[in-house]
Amino acid sequence: MIRNACGSDCINLAALSLDVWLQTYSVDGICKESSTFALSTFTEEYFKQRLRDSKYRCLVFEDGMYIRGFTLINLESRFQSDVNGFEIEKLYVHSPFQGRGIGRKLLAEIKEQFGDRFWLYTWVRNKSVGFYEKCGFKNIGSYSFMFGADPIENHVFGYGGSS
């Protein structure tokens, strides 16, 4: 079942985010920078703040009493122009349940609730790149930033009006 996140979900969203983020971005091992970032960012309060902010929406994929995935949407974030729509800031699926259609179901719900023009960025080494391409996303640019002393290169993918 997909539903809107609520305050009582925030601790689970934080734990799921830690799992997915570390599995995805710490492929070379755990270092101080990644640990500091993950533990200081993905907190219960971080998600409570997002749920209180009117520009954010958070959907969870729940199976029984377990959250298996979620998406965090920023309705006001834009890439280059309004034609690219809103930003999917996070589309996280708990690693044991990846490849089971949860991400596709969350994307379908995003389209139904918020429209079919959106974008996201993801690390060029992220294994989700192929998933996004299979789902119809098009590479519309790049985005890079420094993480500690390391440059991080990202693909920017657009869906709908941006593709």
pLDDT in tens, 11-49: 999 999 999 999 999 988 999 999 999 999 999 999 999
Closest CA to 59 of 4, 1, 120, 118: 4
pLDDT in tens, 68-105: 999 999 999 988 888 889 999 999 999 999 999 999 99
Q: What is the pTM of this model?
A: 0.93
Given this model, what pLDDT does residue 143 score?
93
Burial class (CB in 10 A: 0-12, 13-18, 19+), 8: exposed
Q: What domains, with CATH codes, occur in the chain?
A: 2-116 (3.40.630.30)
pLDDT in tens, 107-118: 999 999 999 999
